[in-house]
Structure 1
Amino acid sequence: LMKCFTIIGSGLPVVIIILIAMFVLYSVLGHRRELLFLAVAVLGSVLLNTVLKMLFRRARPEINRIIEANGYSFPSGHSMTAFSMYAALTFLLWKHVPSRIGRILLVVLSSLLIVTIGTSRIYLGVHYPSDVVGGYFMSGCWMAACIWFYQRYEERMLPLRTKSTA
């Protein structure tokens, strides 16, 4: 079960989820700015993780490994990517979910996926708990910045859009 959750937070599944989300945002909903937000949030998180791994250079745990993993341990890339991707998708979907219970379910489902993917990395023996918590913290800071800039951009663009439709 933990191997399945770790796969959900790895390269190809993340790319597939992002491509599907981008297709829906662009083709179905016609949201081009949201498409850019999602790309910046996830790709920025991956880039930030790479830079942090190079700075910290923390070795992975050597005992009780169930799977093998390469590279440095801190911060957990799976945790950072899962946090950024599911937080960004939740942020974008929030306004399209009309009911309060639907929004609660959206947040709970996203949170469960984020926590389970991080926990799977500890369980499988490829990360220390601090790697996962550090990944969540860094991704949380990154997402807060992305959302803040996105909302400021939207606030500045609102008067321009209302003038063009008037």
Structure 2
Amino acid sequence: MNLKIQLTWAFFISLLSAISFGAIALLVTDHKVVQFDKVIISFVQGLETPLLTSIMKFFTFLGGGFPVVVVTLIILFFLYKVLHHRSELILFISVVIGSVILNETLKLIFKRARPVLHRIIDANGFSFPSGHSMAAFSLYGVVAFLLWRHISTALGRSALIVISIIMIMAIGISRIYLGVHYPSDVLGGFLASGSWLAISIWYYQRYQERRYEDMKILEELR
């Protein structure tokens, strides 16, 4: 795909995600998502079984602090030592750390209390947007973007996308199932991270384009 088209798409997705997040945030603030949350919570928690609870706890664990740190360190090592791509390293760190800062900032702005109807696990802090959802979307989204270009087969790329989507969705749904987030928290988290990830990719691609153009100019001057 042409780089200019990629840049346009990245900017458009970032803008659309930001606008959609703003719409969700307004609905949350005005308490106009109560029925939406109630219907989805009723459906998701209505599926409760001992086995499914164990699975959901596992995915919530994967979206928590320690596993995210471990995955992050593995990816950092792979980018730096194996691929020797320092610019990709900077993008990865910026997306992951930026997502954490953005989530904490948004939580302090909206200060939404967590649901209390049916808690399977305990959780502290504010509810909107979901930190687990934002972390999962940012982490597995940027990993999919970075690894895509290093996978040559259609099957490998398809597997990468499917695994990334499964991880993101499973972690988000687990937060609803376990009773620690409203569905609108999870949706808001996906949209906020989607906007941050897309604008980060846009900036990264712009940087790569300018770097390539500068190198061409230097070669012409020699």
* Structure whose CA Rg is larger: 2
State the alpha-carbon separation in 1 of the partners of residues 186 and 81 from structure 2.
35
Identity of aligned residues (%): 55
Deviation track 1:118-151 (CA, whole Å, cap 9, x = no partner) reads: 0000000000000000000000011110000000
In 2 relative to 1, CA 35–118 (structure 1 residues): closer, same or farther, beyond 3 Å? same
Tell which has more relative contact order, 1 or 2 (C-alpha 8 A, sep 6+). 2
In 2 relative to 1, CA 33–130 (structure 1 residues): closer, same or farther, beyond 3 Å? same
**2:3 paired residue number:** none
1:112 pairs, out of 145, 166, 181, with: 166
Letter paired with 1:12: F
1:156 and 2:210 matched? yes
Post-superposition shift, 1:164? 6.2
Identify unmatched segments of 5+ residues in structure 2.
1-54
Letter paired with 1:64: H
1:95 pairs, out of 129, 140, 149, with: 149
Partner SS for 1:61:
coil
Partner SS for 1:72:
coil
State the alpha-carbon separation in 2 of the partners of residues 102 and 29 from structure 1.
18
Q: Which moved more, 1:53-62 or 1:153-162?
A: 153-162
1:124 pairs, out of 178, 186, 189, with: 178
Q: Which moved more, 1:154-163 or 1:53-62?
A: 154-163
Letter paired with 1:130: S
Number of equivalent positions? 166
**2:7 paired residue number:** none
Q: Which runs of 4+ in 1 moved over 2 A?
A: 159-166
Post-superposition shift, 1:21? 0.3
Which residues of 2 match residues 77-88 of structure 1 at below 5 A?
77-88=131-142
State the alpha-carbon separation in 1 of the partners of residues 159 and 85 from structure 2.
23
The Cα RMSD (Å) is 1.2
**1:59 paired residue number:** 113
**2:77 paired residue number:** 23
In 2 relative to 1, CA 164–32 (structure 1 residues): closer, same or farther, beyond 3 Å? farther
